[in-house]
Amino acid sequence: MIYIGKIVNTHGIKGELRILSNFSSKNKVFIPQMPIYIDNQKEIINSYRHHKMFDMITLKNYNNINEVLKYKGKKVYIKEEDLNLKSGEYILEELIDYIIIENKENLGLVKDIIYNNGNNLLLVKGKKDFYIPFNEHFIKNVDKEKKEVTVENAKGLIL
């Protein structure tokens, strides 16, 4: 399961949910008929729209605010296989717990993704915690089989 956001409130009387999400591939998730999981309960997205800083969805078979109030404050997940990713394709959130390798040396584990106005950073927990910008200058390869990210020039980022 991949975390995509948190339901922070409802909106209106027709059962619309307000989700706060930093998910990197919203265009693959927030679409009608996409299955999502709230507290391990499978629900289907009926409609989607963006409003201010929120992702607004309605769920199939829910038409009233009173029916969806139970989801307020809950975390929302998806299954990776529902994304229909192509071979070699990945999403940033998948990289959490991947090993960072530079010149065959283990620098640590990816523990979080920081979204910083388009400059995404990997938070790496090693001997010392540090950040690696997610761009071609540092990231050379992502191996989903080995759960490794091969990097270059990253040692200079460790303080």
Q: Following DSSP, what letter does each residue of 84-98 receive, concatenated?
A: -PPTT---GGGGTTP
* Helix (H) or strand (E) run with residue 29 in it: helix 26-29
Look up the domain containing 34 and give its range.
2-83
- Asked if residue 37 and residue 7 are part of one domain, the reply reads yes
User: The CATH number of the domain where 72 resides is what?
Assistant: 2.40.30.60
- Asked if residue 76 and residue 21 are part of one domain, the reply reads yes
Which residue type occupies 93?
Answer: E
Give percent of the chain above pLDDT 70: 99
Q: What's the whole-number average pLDDT of the chain?
A: 91
Helical ranges in the chain per DSSP H: 26-29, 65-68
Distance of CA 136 to the CA centre of its chain: 20
- Asked if residue 131 and residue 63 are part of one domain, the reply reads no
For the chain, the domain total comes to 2
| The predicted structure's pLDDT at residue 159 | 64
pLDDT digits (tens, 9 = 90+) for 118-131: 788 999 998 889 99
Considering the entire predicted model, what is its pTM? 0.74
pLDDT digits (tens, 9 = 90+) for 51-104: 999 999 999 999 999 999 999 999 999 998 888 888 777 888 889 899 999 999
